Amino acid sequence: MAAGLEALQRRFDLAGLSRVDAGEGGLPRLRLTPAAAEAEVYLHGGHVTRWQPRGAAPVLFVSARSRFAPTAAIRGGIPVIFPWFGARAGDPKAPAHGFARTARWEVEAIERAGDAALAVLRLTPDEAARASWPHRFRLRERIAVGAALEVTLEVENQDAAAWSFEAALHTYLAVADVRHVSITGLGGAAYIDKTAGMARKQQGPAPLALTGETDSVYLGTGAACVVDDPGMRRRIVVEKEGSATTVVWNPWAEKARALGDLGDDEWPRFVCVETANAADDRVTLAPGQRHAMRARLRLEPR
């Protein structure tokens, strides 16, 4: 690991822009430091764990009990979900949310893009991925860090036949208390309520307020969502492109106690608003075809 880290440092330690170091658990980490913000990205999972605009509190939540280990997913930040969402249909032994969030990604480039720092990561199938999903693919993740955070997941079909996939940027947003936030942008959308036996429902016109365990998959919606957080006196705007699904999730108290990598008292401090293509909105790619899905986060004062 040390030799590999030194090689990354020689290529990607760029003054005033980026630094490579050993993060939690000794996992390689990119630290991106343009003028407007700071961010941290782990090569394990291609996982953004921090984005903090200058003068603002961190926008992403990461559990203090998260396991930073090569075989475990990081709890918080922005996990990359691919090629299935949730449990894999017909294969209960498959890892939840696919293999991308626990794979080792490669750094393709780090460069300055105007006032932002741009990191480009790449994932191609290894033996473990091919064993669980026998398709040829390439993923690219483009992470642009500045006054806004843009994360783009590009999926390319390198097979001779078409295949379908699900994907998500499973974003954990830091809030003062999830019981007091509201979310706009989902009014009128149809959704699958996973806490009610996958029942199909429709969101009313009022802002969404969470009052208990929430695991809702909103379908056929490309609208931006705004998380209004009175406790932190800010609004988090989640804009998206190439995404027809938005997922809203919080485990609430009882489910949180069952999660070994989440503290019993941490669940009020985040809400997941996920940019996705899942369930009815899964994507089919022809040979050689690519698909890009982008999430853009920015802050507004309240």
* pLDDT for res 2: 64
Query: Measured in whole angstroms, how far is the alpha carbon of residue 124 from the centre of its chain?
Result: 19
Bridging pattern class, strands 116-123 and 137-145 = antiparallel
The answer to whether 291 is a known catalytic residue is no
User: What CATH fold (topology level) applies to the domain 2-301?
Assistant: Beta-galactosidase; Chain A, domain 5 (2.70.98)
Domain map of the chain by residue range?
Answer: 2-301
Q: How many CA atoms lie within 13 A of 285 on its CB side?
A: 22
202 vs 103: CA distance, rounded Å: 36
pLDDT, one tens digit for every residue, the chain (302 residues) = 566 888 999 999 988 899 999 999 999 999 999 999 999 999 999 999 999 999 999 999 999 999 999 999 999 999 999 999 998 888 877 888 999 999 999 999 999 999 999 999 999 988 888 888 999 999 999 999 999 999 999 999 999 999 999 999 999 999 999 999 999 999 999 999 999 999 999 999 999 999 999 999 999 999 999 999 999 999 999 999 999 999 999 999 999 999 999 999 999 999 999 999 999 999 999 999 999 999 999 999 98
What local confidence, expressed as pLDDT, does residue 1 receive?
56
Residue 138: Cβ-neighbour burial (10 angstroms; 0-12, 13-18, 19+) = middle
Q: What is the pLDDT of residue 93?
A: 79
Q: Are 45 and 169 in contact (CB under 8 A)?
A: no
Q: Annotated catalytic residue: which of 170, 254, 266, 300?
A: 170
- Sign of the dihedral defined by the CA atoms of residues 6, 10, 11, 17, in that order: positive
- Which string of DSSP letters, residue by residue, matches the chain? -HHHHHHHHHHH-BTTTEEEEE-GGG-EEEEE--TTEEEEEETBTTEEEEEEETTS--SB-B-TT---STTS--SBSBPEEBS-SSSPTT-TTSPTTBSGGGSB-EEEEEEEETTEEEEEEEE---HHHHHHS---EEEEEEEEESSSEEEEEEEEE-SSS-EEE-EEE--EEE-S-GGG-EEES-TT-EEEEGGGTTEEEE--SSPB---S-EEEEE-S----EEEEETTTTEEEEEEEES--EEEEEE-HHHHHHT-TTS-TTTGGGEEEEEEEE-GGG-EEE-TT-EEEEEEEEEEEE-
Q: What is the pTM of this model?
A: 0.96
- Catalytic residue (choose from 40, 166, 266, 274): 274
